[in-house]
Structure 1
Amino acid sequence: MPRPEDTGPADLFYNEENADLYAQNARMNEIQIQLTNRALELLEIQDPPLLLLDIGCGTGLSTSFLNENGYLTIGVDISEQMLAHNETDNLMQLDIGNGLPFQPGTFDGAVSISVLQWLCYSNETQQDPFKRLFNFFTSLFGCLKPGAKAVFQFYPEHASQLQLIQDAAAKAGFAGRLQVDFPNSAKAKKMYLVLSCGLTAIAGKDKREFMKNKDRNQQRVQRSTKLEKGSREWILMKKAKQAEAGEDVVAPTKFTGKKRKTMWGF
C-alpha cells in the first residue's frame, strides 16, 4: 500500500473526501490524541498558559487537546478541507514549506503530528525538499522564543530522508535529539524529533547528541546495504547528498527508481 506522501501534495491528498474520512475515524482520532500527549510531554513545558504553535493542525484534534490542557494555541495547515472540520480559534491556512509568517519570538513552543515527512516530497510550486525543509525550519527558529522547543512526531520513509530532515534543522540553527518510542515494535514504534533553539550553552549537549545520531544513521545506512546503482535507494541517497550540498534536486516520486516499460512491453 503506497504512503499518502507518494500520491501528491498534502493539500491535494486531504481533499473533502479524505478530510471527512479522517474526521470520522475514531481510531485515528484516538491515536492523534495519544501522539499529541506524548509530544507535549517531550516539550517539557510546566506552566501554562503559554502560546504554542500547532503545525499541521488539521481537523483540530491536537489543537483542542492543547487548549483543554490550558495552552493558548495557533494552528496552521495546508488543507482547507481539513481546516473546515477544525472548530478551534486562531487558524491559518498556509504551506509551511514556504516558511511561517509570524513575528520573532512569538511562541513558547511548537508541536506537530504526522506532518514533517510531507516536506520531503514535491508540491506544485517547489520541487526541492531540502529548500522546503530549510525554509520551514529557519522561519520556525525565528518565531520561537530563545530556549523554546519544538516536537515533531513524524514518519520518515528511510534513513536518508531522516538525515535530510536533521541536516536542514541543524543548518537552520536548531540543536536537538531523536526520541524513538518502542523501537523494537514494528506497529508501536514512534519517532519524535525534539528541537531546541537559542541558548547555545544549554543546547550544546543536545546538539552534540543530535549530530552524533545523524552520523550514526548515515553509518547504519552505509553498513546495512551496498546499494545497487540505479536502484530506488541509490537514487534517493544520491538526491539527499545533492540537496545537502545545496544543489537543486527534483523531489522523488512513487515512480523514482522504477524501470520504465518500452513500447514493446518490456
Structure 2
Amino acid sequence: MSRPEHQAPPEIYYNDAEAKKYTSNTRIQSVQAELTYRALELLNLPEDEPAYLLDIGCGSGLSGEILDEEGHMWVGMDISPAMLPEVALDREVEGDLFLQDVGQGMGFRPGTFDGAISVSVIQWLCNADRSSHNPKSRLTRFFSTLYSSLRRGAKAVFQFYPENDDQCELLMNTAMRCGFEGGLIPTEDGKPKMPKALGEDGEDEPNVVAYSSQRTQERQRTKGKQRKSIKEKDWVLHKKEVARMRGKKNIPLDSKYTARKRKPKF
C-alpha cells in the first residue's frame, strides 16, 4: 500500500469522504488513543493540575478527546478543511481549533503551552507538495516556532512514520538545531519498541533511556477517575465556564448542589 503523503497533499488527501472514514474507523480510534496515552506518558506532566497543550495535526479531534478526558485544556491545528469544519466541529470537540499549515510555522506567543503532541503528522513535512516548498526550510520554520511557543522546560512528543533513515536524520537534526533535545524511540507494528536498559544482555548503551508502558496501561484502566475524585467540583465548574465562553446555551447555573453526588433512586 502506498504511503498517503505520496498520493496527495494532506489538505487534498483528507477530503470529506476520507476524513469521515478515518474518524469512524474503530481500529484507527484505538491506535490513536494508544499513541496519545503514550505521548502523555512521555510528556510526564504533573498529575495534580491541568496543562495547556498543543495538538499538532489534530485532525477530527481523536487525540483531543483523550487530552480532555485526562483533564487538560488544548488547542488543535490541522491543514485539512474537511477534518476541522466538516468533522471536528460537528463532533463538538472541546479544544480550540486552527486551520493552518504547520510548515508555515505557528504564531503563538512565546511560552504559551505546557507541552505539545503530534500523532502521524511531521513526516508530511518531508515532502515538497509545491514548487515553493523546501522540506528543510519548512521543518526549520515548524520546529523553531514550536520551540518558541513552549514554556521553558516544556516537552514535545512526535509520533511519525519515517520513510527511511534519511528522513529520521533530517527531522532529528533540524529539531536539535532549533533548540530541542531528546531521542528517538523506534516502534514495531505500531507499538513502542522499548530500548534495552544499560548493561542488559551484556550490551552497554549509556545513551539509551528505557521507558516503561506500565503508566500507559494504568492510565487506560483509570482514566478520568483520579481527576474527578481529587477535585470534581472544580473540574465541573471549569467545564461549565469554558462552555459559557464558547457561547453554548442552556448551561446550568452554579449552586451549592453543583457536582454533588445524588442519592440513588429506589
Quote how far apart the aligned CAs of 1:173 are: 1.1
Q: 1:1-266 counterparts in 2 under 5 A?
A: 1-47=1-47, 48-83=49-84, 84-86=86-88, 87-88=92-93, 89-124=95-130, 126-181=132-187, 185=188, 187-190=189-192, 209=207
Q: What is the distance in 2 between the residues matched to 1:16 and 1:115?
A: 19
**Aligned letter for 2:82?**
Q
* SS of aligned partner of 2:156: strand
Q: What is the distance in 2 between the residues matched to 1:164 and 1:137?
A: 12
Distance 1:115 1:190, change over 3 A: farther
- Alignment TM-score, normalising by the size of structure 1: 0.68
Count how many residue pairs are aligned between Structure 1 and Structure 2. Answer: 191
Distance 1:36 1:146, change over 3 A: same
* Deviations 1:40-88 (CA, angstroms, capped at 9, x unpaired): 0011002331100000000101011101100010000000101121122
Alpha-carbon RMSD across the aligned residues, in angstroms, is 1.9
User: Quick check: 1:96–1:136 contact (8 Å CA) kept in 2?
Assistant: yes
* SS of aligned partner of 1:175: coil
Quote how far apart the aligned CAs of 1:167 are: 1.1
Quote how far apart the aligned CAs of 1:188 are: 3.8
What is the percentage of aligned positions where both structures have the same residue? 45
* SS of aligned partner of 1:76: strand
**Aligned letter for 2:166?**
S
Residue segments in structure 2 that go unaligned for 5+ positions in a row: 195-205, 209-266
**Aligned letter for 1:51?**
Y
Quote how far apart the aligned CAs of 1:209 are: 4.9
* SS of aligned partner of 1:173: coil
* Deviations 1:154-199 (CA, angstroms, capped at 9, x unpaired): 1000000100101110111111111224xxx4x244489xxxxxxx
Q: What is the distance in 2 between the residues matched to 1:4 and 1:107?
A: 30
Q: What is the distance in 1 between the residues matched to 2:173 and 2:100?
A: 24
User: Quick check: 1:51–1:108 contact (8 Å CA) kept in 2?
Assistant: yes
Q: Which runs of 4+ in 1 moved over 3 A?
A: 188-192
Q: What is the distance in 2 between the residues matched to 1:100 and 1:175?
A: 20
Quote how far apart the aligned CAs of 1:124 are: 3.1
- Alignment TM-score, normalising by the size of structure 2: 0.68
* SS of aligned partner of 1:35: helix
Q: What is the distance in 2 between the residues matched to 1:91 and 1:15?
A: 18
Residue segments in structure 1 that go unaligned for 5+ positions in a row: 193-207, 211-266
Quote how far apart the aligned CAs of 1:126 are: 3.6
* SS of aligned partner of 1:2: coil
